[in-house]
């Protein structure tokens, strides 16, 4: 079985030694770890998947460009180092919330006899990419999501205090902002245009102290779904590359030979907790959608669902339910959840969903894709077939049930 885990970034020599011992035990157990490439001083439970297939075409030096100098020059000045810290107050508040959910939490706490908690606040280091001249920076949610205090260091060594603009757990992206002007944002590339076998660079701050590090590799695969984002509405379409990234690279840039951003480095697959050939990045086209949403609306993005259950339409289903529909496609609604967006929007059991906005719906997967970037409060137009008649319903989306 392959383990898919997030990678903590490097800490002190002691913690690196401990990580090595743990990694060695994992090797002995024959397990693979995929972790986010950031470091934390608190161990976190690692997500798990089985039978993950990794395709790696390897480097072909005969076809390699003569150098990567121009791409590196264009990208390194737009990548920053991030150090994130959680306050003791936040750590205690989080623990109290956990206790309220678990009535037996006190029996397993690490408090002393005087009620003082031994639980420690989290901290960690990662990377970020300058998104705008006025100080917006994109990074991973797992780099800054827990943090109360964030320090950004640019490629020239200048330090800034940053504030959190918002996060999106479903895509593992976050936006922070520093008070600055005249910064050099990274040019956004089109991740849909990238090809397997294309050369790329990874830019970041591995282990927290090897700042502005550049490594090269190729795109090994596209559209990887790894189930490492534990969210009902997780958006996973990772770019796989063999460019070396390590703890501390999370939130850094994956760029093409023109120095354009095509992905945000997020995770690696490795038996020891450090790079062993497989890296994963969030495509820039997902980054563009999510970051613009966070900047415009602020706060944490709440993803949504429609609240329907049923079956994909095919010829057999048309015959079984005697559907009056021209083409055997769409999603047949058998159940509408109470107080869901679908119920409040007027969708009924027996309806066939055939379109959402400009998207034609062939099956339930198409519904998920059509709603991928929508959030709570959005109003969408849903086309349905009801007893042979096509109707368009405006539906206001609600929080996922």
Which of 250, 279, 284, 340 is catalytic? The answer is 250
Check 172, 293, 351, 366 and give the catalytic one.
172
Residue located via tokens 């810290």: 85
Q: What is the CA radius of gyration of the chain?
A: 23
Q: How far apart are CA 102 and CA 122, in angstroms?
A: 21
User: What's the rounded Cα separation, in Å, for the pair 18 and 131?
Assistant: 36
Residue with tokens 């750590």: 91
Nearest to 275, CA basis, from 287, 264, 267 = 267
Q: How far apart are the first and last CA of the chain?
A: 31
* Cα–Cα distance measured from residue 84 to residue 251, given in angstroms and rounded to the nearest whole number: 12
Is residue 142 annotated as part of the catalytic site, yes or no?
yes
**Whether 50 is catalytic:** no
Residue 254 dihedral angles phi and psi, to the nearest 5°: -110, 120
Residues found in the chain: 401
Of 125, 142, 171, 284, the catalytic one is 142
121-155 residues labelled b (16+ CB within 10 A) or e (exposed) = bbbbbbbbbbbeeebbbbbbbbbbbbbebbbbbbb
Q: Which residues belong to the active site?
A: 142, 172, 250
């Amino acid at each position: 079985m392959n383990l898919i885990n997030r990678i903590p970034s490097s800490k002190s020599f002691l913690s690196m030694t401990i990580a090595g011992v743990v990694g060695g035990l994992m090797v002995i157990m024959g397990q693979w770890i995929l972790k986010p490439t950031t470091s934390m001083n608190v161990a976190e439970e690692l997500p798990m998947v089985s039978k993950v297939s990794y395709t790696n075409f390897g480097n072909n030096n005969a076809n390699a460009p003569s150098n990567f100098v121009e791409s590196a020059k264009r990208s390194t000045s737009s990548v920053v180092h991030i150090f994130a810290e959680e306050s003791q107050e936040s750590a205690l508040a989080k623990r109290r919330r956990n206790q309220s959910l678990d009535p037996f939490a006190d029996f397993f706490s690490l408090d002393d006899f005087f009620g003082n908690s031994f639980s420690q606040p989290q901290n960690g280091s990662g990377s970020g990419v300058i998104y705008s001249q006025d100080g917006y920076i994109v990074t991973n949610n797992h780099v800054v999501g827990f943090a109360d205090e964030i320090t950004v260091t640019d490629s020239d060594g200048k330090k800034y205090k940053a504030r959190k603009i918002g996060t999106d757990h479903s895509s593992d992206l976050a936006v922070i902002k520093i008070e600055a002007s005249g910064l050099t944002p990274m040019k956004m590339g089109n991740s849909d245009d990238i090809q397997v076998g294309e050369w790329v660079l990874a830019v970041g701050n591995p282990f927290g102290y090897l700042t502005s590090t550049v490594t090269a590799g190729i795109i090994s695969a596209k559209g990887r779904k790894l189930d490492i984002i534990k969210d009902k509405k997780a958006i996973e379409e990772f770019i796989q590359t063999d460019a070396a990234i390590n703890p501390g690279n999370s939130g850094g840039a994956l760029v093409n030979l023109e120095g354009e951003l095509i992905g945000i480095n997020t995770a690696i697959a490795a038996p020891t907790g450090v790079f062993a050939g497989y890296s994963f990045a969030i495509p820039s086209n997902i980054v563009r959608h999510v970051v613009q949403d966070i900047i415009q609306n602020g706060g944490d993005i709440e993803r949504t669902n429609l609240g329907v259950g049923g079956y994909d339409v095919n010829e057999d289903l048309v015959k079984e339910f005697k559907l009056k529909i021209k083409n055997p496609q769409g999603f047949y609604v058998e159940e509408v959840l109470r107080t869901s967006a679908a119920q409040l929007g007027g969708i009924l059991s027996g309806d066939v969903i055939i379109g959402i906005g400009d998207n034609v719906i062939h099956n339930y997967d198409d519904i998920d894709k059509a709603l991928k970037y929508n959030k709570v409060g959005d109003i969408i137009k849903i086309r349905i077939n009801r007893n042979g008649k096509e109707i368009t319903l405006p539906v206001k989306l609600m929080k996922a049930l």
